[in-house]
Amino acid sequence: LFGSAFYIFMIRQFYLSLPRELFEAARVDGASYFGIWRHVALPLTRNALIVVFIFEFKASWTDLLKPLIYLYDSQLYTLPRGLKALLDQFGQGGEMQWEIVLAASVIVTIPMIIIFFLGQRYFMEGIATSGLKG
C-alpha cells in the first residue's frame, strides 16, 4: 500500500461504513481488539483490500518514471522501462517498427488483465455493497 493517501482514505471510509454493533457484539463475547480486527473487521474488508491491491498493482506495473530515474543497467529494467528502451531502439532513424512495439505492449499488459479478471468479482462486490446501509 505504501501509505498512499487515496488508499488510506478508501480503507478508512470502508471501516467507517461497517456497523458498530458487530464490534460491540464481539467485545461482549470477550474478543480482544486484535481479535475483533482479525475475526470481524478484516474479513469484512476483504473486497476493499482487493480493490486497493488491484489499483496498487496497476500503478506499480505501469510506473515508468521511477525506473527511468533509478535504473541504468538494462538487466534491471522493469517491463515499462524495457518497453521504453524497445521504443527507443526500434523507433530511431527512419521507419518506426510498430509491429514489434505493439506486440511487446500487448505482452506487457497481459499480467494486468489477468489480475483484473481474477479480482473482478471482489471489485464488483465492493462497489455493490459500498452503497448499502444496514
Task: Give the pLDDT band (50/70/90) at residue 15.
Answer: confident
Query: Residues with Cβ < 8 Å from 123, sequence gap 6 or more?
Result: 47, 50, 51, 54, 116
Between CA 73 and CA 6 the distance in angstroms is 33
| CA 41 to the chain's CA centroid | 20
Tens digit of each residue's pLDDT (9 = 90 or more) over 41-67: 888 888 888 888 888 888 888 888 888
- Where do we find the cell 511487446? 104
Tens digit of each residue's pLDDT (9 = 90 or more) over 88-106: 887 666 677 788 888 888 9
- Which cell numbers in the block locate residue 43? 474479513
- Domain definitions of the chain by residue range: 1-44, 57-134
Flag whether the pTM goes above 0.85.
no
